Structure 1
Amino acid sequence: MKGIKKRLFLNYLIGVCLVLFSVELIFMISIKNYYYKSVEQSLNEKAESSATFYNQYLNKNYANLSDSLAPLVENNTEQQNVEIQIIDKKGNVLLSSEIVSAEKIQTNDFQKALKGEVSTWTGNNIDTNEKVMSASSAIKDLDSNTIAVIRVVTSLEDVNNLILKYLFLSMTLLIVILICIFISSTILSKTIVEPVKEVNDIARKMSKGQFNERINKHYNDEIGELSDTLNYMASEILKAEETKNGFISSVSHELRTPLTAIKGWGETILTGSFEDKEEIEKGLKVILRETDRLKNMVDELLDFSKLEGNTLVLNMEKTDIKEEIEEILRLYDGRAKKERISLQSKFTENIPELSVDRNRFKQVIINILDNAMKFSPKDSNILINVSTLENELIIEIIDNGYGIAKEDLPKIKDKFFKGNSKKSGSGIGLAVCDKIIKLHGGSLELKSELNKGTNVIIKLRIN
């Protein structure tokens, strides 16, 4: 599980780190843009207002250009970190609130100011090499001709230092968050991997046949559902194992009884102890009857094996359902009279022929009818009711026998299930019947109430 834990941890951590670093990057870009925009707006307003002030008030009051522009510079000498420059159209600095630079100014803001635009420029100071921002605006004479440019310059060092502080604080917060995420991702990966590891360990034990092992359910999530499923599977396997063992024991007993009878009568006849021909015939009849019983049991087991392996092939043919059921009733007429059971049938008009496997269909009806007689007391009634409803043929075998316990009813069609009955049988008859009917595209249902009787309902599609 180390691989899963590592992958979960790394994927979670990398994903969160990418998100956090993206947020950090966006945050810092936004902070920088905000402060730079604020400085830019302030410089633009300062440059524009100074140019407007000159054009309105100073332009008319002085004889020469330098004298008229000097008040613009003098009024701003007290402002910290702000330099006011007066530049002629060639780029020479005429006046400055700081030291007058000998270098010509040819920056973008200056060039645009000559064209009448108010613009800003960000770059490095030629003399000090520090980061600065400048805004320039045109100064015009009385005829609205550009005579010079007022340029407002400020250092970005304080702004950059403030941005660095924000960067430091945000990085510190980011590191704290990453530490928290590291711890939480470790815990999270553990909460996922540990239950999976437990499931894996128990599943490995189950694969070795230790079905008494159970997985502790820690959370109501997919892993919890998987734990419930594996626990349920183990319980069902144990039940199936118990049922299988019971089936083997039951079949062994069922086989032993006829084999004992056959062996006993065979040995007796071979010894020649019987001189009476009738006694010998009686013994041979017992042998034949028990042999038929064995054959039926073996056939039932073979059918069940074929159905479980999905190798049973149906020989479908048009069959008169009414005729087949009446033939089966004739076969059971003698037994019914002997056991004092009233065997009746009821058919609605125009029962259609169906495409079924004739032998398998008879096998199902015989099995269900045999069960009905086996679990019905003397002087009881069994009714076979055949009708149609919409596109279905419905066959009901209704008895008023012992019935089936409510808790046994959901499991009665399970393979090997016999309930609490002491009657002989393998416990696979109904399971075989159910599968045969399903292969025909139909359904087999049971309704029963203890001590009141059972109703077996077979539904087959018409056409």
Structure 2
Amino acid sequence: MAKHSITKRWIFNNLGVVVLAILVIDMAIIYAVQNYFYSNAKQYLISKLNAVTSVLSIHSQDSSSNFSAEMRKMLETFNEKDKIELMAINSKGRVVLTSSGFSPDAGDPMPDYDKALSKSEGDQVYRLNRGEKILAVSVPIDSMSSEYSAVRMVTSLEKIDDTIKNYAIAITIVCLVIILIIVMTGLYFAGSIVRPIRQISGIARKYAMGDFSRRIENDSDDEIGDLCTAINNMADELSATEAMKNEFISSVSHELRTPLTAIKGWAETLMIDGGGSPDTMKKGVGVIVNETERLSQMVEELLDFSRMQNGHFTLQNANMDILAELGDAVLIYSDKARREEKEIIYNEPEMLPFVYGDKNRIRQVFINVIDNAVKYSSAGDTVTIMAYEKGGSVVVMVTDTGCGIKESDLSKVKTKFYKANHTRRGSGIGLAVADEIITMHGGTMDVTSEGEGKGTTVIITLPAVKP
């Protein structure tokens, strides 16, 4: 057991309090049972003693009777002498007559008699010198006779104590059974919490070291079960993210290597032979410029993604003409599409409402979406771009007839590092950045496709400025 484990804390805190409470209750019940039996015994002796004093009172008022003789006769004929001893105490405080015929030891105390002298009666539970536990009750009768000061009844508490002991044992057994049940159920309950927590702790350490292969066994439907499910889901996400990150690193490395190789190759060619013919010079410089542009665009995407992750991505918002930004993006890719034997069809409307946002970021989104449409299309394919107003919003739709997206990939295409098609260049974060920019503008970006080879449609919706 761990030094500060939940089970140990439960045993010393909760269980300790419960056991202490049950022990206190046990002692209180035993005390109540003892008090009940002792009280009943005392009341019985008092009632018998009152009956005796009533008879003696009658004899004391009868001048023809001998009070001492009647006292002796009453003690001799006392019918409960087998369990109760009746005593007569003289005016000097000594027991002179007993129902058993045996006088008590001279050294035995009589605290009940001492109480009776100051009150109407006295009772006391105590032990005799020989160790026997007794209950004694005394009632003064000095008003009835000058020879006797009190009558006294004494009974042994041995049988009563045996009965109380039996009750105490039974009550203690019941309390111990209750404690045992509480301990067993408590340990089971604590174990049901500690076991999955220990499992979670062990597997979490593996997650911390990058091993996402293990999953937590979950067979409960409570909060612990919810936690296990959440951690398993987190592991699935982390595993997927780790795989996408590794794939992203590989993809970016490849994307960086290709333009760098081209730039280096043409730079070495131009440096060695001085460029050769003007056509070769022009072609080499063109390749270097294009590949440098690719690198610049990729670095810009990475920087934007890093700013978003760090919360440093800001917008310079103002009312803008969205058609102007969309037109610039279309113009940028028109020549490229023509060179690759692809067609861009742009149905430009005459006018659209203004949109409140950062025009540079919105243009970046349009460039990214149109770039993807051209990139994932083949020679002879068409990219159709439309813009219109709908329900107080400006909608831009980019549809291509390219390679399309599998249904299983549609929900992931806007996820960072994810690439649905590994045969085309790209870092896998362009759509994630574009989606984040549109979301920051209060809009939405939806990607749909009917399947592989059936093209893709991207619908961007932005709230229009109210006139």
What is the TM-score of this pair, normalised by structure 1?
A: 0.74
**What letter is aligned with 1:152?**
M
Which residue pairs with 2:39 in the alignment? 37
Partner of residue 387, structure 2? 384
Which runs of structure 2 are paired with 1:88-237 in the superposition (5 Å)? Answer: 95-98=97-100, 99=102, 106-109=113-116, 111-113=118-120, 121-124=123-126, 130-136=132-138, 150-167=151-168, 197-217=198-218, 228-237=229-238
Over 3 Å counting, the alpha-carbon distance change for 1:400 and 1:208 in structure 2 is: closer
After TM superposition, give the deviation of residue 301 of structure 1 in Å.
1.3
Q: Distance in 1 between matches of 2:62 and 2:387?
A: 125
Q: 1:283 to 1:157 in 2, by over 3 A?
A: same
1:251 is displaced (CA, Å) by: 2.0
- Name the CA distance, whole Å, in 2 between partners of 1:125 and 1:212: 76
Determine if contact 1:28/1:167 at 8 Å carries over to the other structure: yes
Q: How far is 1:291 from its partner?
A: 1.8
CA distance in 1 between partners of 2:462 and 2:43 (Å): 87
Given residue 107 of structure 1, which amino acid in structure 2 is its aligned partner? D
Q: CA deviation at 1:417?
A: 0.4
Displacement of 1:344 in angstroms is 3.9
What residue is the counterpart of 1:371 in the other structure? 372
1:232-254 CA distances to partner (integer Å, 9 max, x unpaired)?
Answer: 44443332232122222322332
Paired residue for 1:21, among 17, 20, 23? 23
1:327-386 Cα offsets, whole Å, 9 max, x none, are 3224405746954343346799764x63x4442333234323443555578456433345
* Structure 2 partner of 1:327: 325
Distance 2:139 2:3 in 1: 66
Give the drift of 1:156. Answer: 1.8
- Counterpart of 1:424 in 2: which secondary structure? coil
Q: Is contact 1:54-1:69 (8 Å) kept?
A: yes
Kindly report which structure 2 residues correspond to 1:276-295, keeping only aligned pairs within 5 A, or say none.
277=278, 280-295=281-296
In 2, distance between residues paired with 1:110 and 1:333?
124
Residues 249-398 of structure 1 mapped to structure 2, 5 A cutoff: 249-270=250-271, 271=273, 274-275=276-277, 277=278, 280-312=281-313, 314-320=314-320, 323-333=321-331, 335=333, 338=338, 339-344=342-347, 351=354, 354=356, 356-372=357-373, 374=375, 378-379=381-382, 381-386=384-389, 395=395, 397=397
8 Å CA contact 2:373–2:383 kept in 1: the answer is no
Contact 1:206 1:234 in 2 (8 A): yes
Contact 1:300 1:429 in 2 (8 A): yes
Contact 1:199–1:215 under 8 Å retained in 2: yes
Distance in 1 between residues matched to 2:236 and 2:445, nearest whole Å: 26
Write the letter of the residue equivalent to 2:24: S
Amino acid at match of 2:343: R
- CA distance in 2 between partners of 1:345 and 1:107 (Å): 120
- Tell me how far apart the structure 2 counterparts of residues 87 and 291 of structure 1 sit (CA, whole Å): 127
**1:296 Cα deviation from its structure 2 partner:** 0.7
Cα 1:334/1:165, change in 2 over 3 Å: closer
Tell me by how many angstroms 1:48 deviates: 3.7
What is the deviation of 1:300? Answer: 0.9
Task: Give 5+ residue unaligned stretches, structure 2.
Answer: none
Q: 3-state SS of the aligned residue for 2:65? A: coil
Distance 1:453 1:110 in 2: 113
Instruction: Tell me by how many angstroms 1:415 deviates.
Output: 1.0
| Local SS of the residue matching 2:154 | strand
CA contact (8 A) 1:73 1:84 kept: yes
Does 2:451 match 1:448?
A: no
Gaps of 5+ in 1: 114-118
- Partner in structure 2 of residue 116 of structure 1: none
Q: CA deviation at 1:32?
A: 1.6
Relative to structure 2, which stretch is displaced further, 361-370 or 181-190? 181-190
How many residue pairs are counted as aligned between the two chains? 444
Q: 1:288 to 1:48 in 2, by over 3 A?
A: same
1:154 positional shift:
1.8
Q: Which moved more, 1:294-303 or 1:449-458?
A: 449-458
2:414 is aligned to 413
Give the root-mean-square deviation of aligned CA atoms: 4.6
Q: Tell me which moved more, 22-31 or 299-308.
A: 22-31
Letter in 2 for 1:424: R
Describe the SS at the equivalent of 1:255: helix
Work out whether residues 77 and 97 of structure 1, in 8 Å CA contact, stay in contact via their aligned partners in 2: no
1:63 is aligned to 65
How many angstroms apart in 2 are the aligned matches of 1:297 and 1:255?
9
Confirm or deny: 8 A CA contact 1:346 1:386 kept in the other structure.
no
